[in-house]
Structure 1
Amino acid sequence: MNTKQTGKDGENRATQYLISKGFAIIERNWRTKGGEIDIIAYKNDTIVFVEVKTLPNGTTDMIQRELNYQKRQRIIKTSKRFLLNHRQYSKCYIRYDVIVIDMPGLEPVYHIENAFTE
């Protein structure tokens, strides 16, 4: 399986996990010229922007490298564009989560709530 398919499978598993936890999925792979958000979900007046990392050979250091300052800023900027285009969520709380798939030493689907903030 190539890395694109591995990532897609990871996003599918993350989506199913979120649904099982009571989240409604608003969008998947929402793109702008400046970036992409893997999953946008909603639960309890909170809109959650989720970055999915499928890391079957990963380490915690790898997660930190993958989610460096520039990547986090790109996600935040993209989320602001989403909110500008979808005013119905303007009164919601906002959260940035990370879901790690298949990393050794962690649960198969490992959900990090409030992984970063603006």
Structure 2
Amino acid sequence: MKEPYVRKHYNRKEKGTAAENGAVQYLSSSGYMILERNWRCRTGELDIIAEREDCIVVVEVRSRSGELLQGTPEESVNARKINQVRSTTQVYLHMKGYEERRVSFDVISVLLNDDLSLASLSHIREAF
């Protein structure tokens, strides 16, 4: 007798990791060099730090699964989050000696299927 399909409920961390893995794969295949993932300091965390064409690209990854009742992933990047990412980026640039480098703040929006595979991915360059 065949086992009935049981939908696994993934936690927030598992969903976030799946979305970030998809974003890294997309960025790598698009010519970005990944420098850091989940870089942390006292001011916060940066999801992905990449480099492309002599530009440091700080990528905020946002995801949703199931219904979009809470809005799209990119709509969740509010003023507080933008300020936190900018201030954390300043710490990163200072610690790495990259103060003179050009910086872009991008958002990657990911919609996940029930099994955590990617349903869609959208890259918003210079989002803020």
Q: TM-score, normalising length from structure 1?
A: 0.86
1:49 to 52, 58, 82: 58
Q: Superposed, which structure 2 residues align to 1:6-17 within 5 Å?
A: 6-17=15-26
Greater gyration radius: 2
TM superposition shift of 1:91: 3.1
How far apart, CA to CA, are the structure 1 residues paired with 2:111 and 2:52?
Answer: 25
Residues 50-103 of structure 1 show CA distances to partners (whole Å, capped at 9, x for unaligned) of 00011123334x633x2111110000000000000001x333210000000117
Q: Unaligned stretches of 5+ in structure 2?
A: 1-9, 113-118
- Report the equivalent of 1:85: 95
Identity among equivalent pairs (%): 38
How far apart, CA to CA, are the structure 2 residues paired with 1:92 and 1:44?
Answer: 11
Q: Unaligned stretches of 5+ in structure 1?
A: none
1:74 to 81, 84, 90: 84
RMSD: 1.7
TM superposition shift of 1:33: 1.2
SS, match of residue 55 in structure 1: strand
- Report the equivalent of 1:31: 40
How far apart, CA to CA, are the structure 1 residues paired with 2:74 and 2:32?
Answer: 24
- Report the equivalent of 1:63: 74
Is 1:99 aligned to residue 108 of structure 2? yes
Bigger proportion of residues as helix: 1
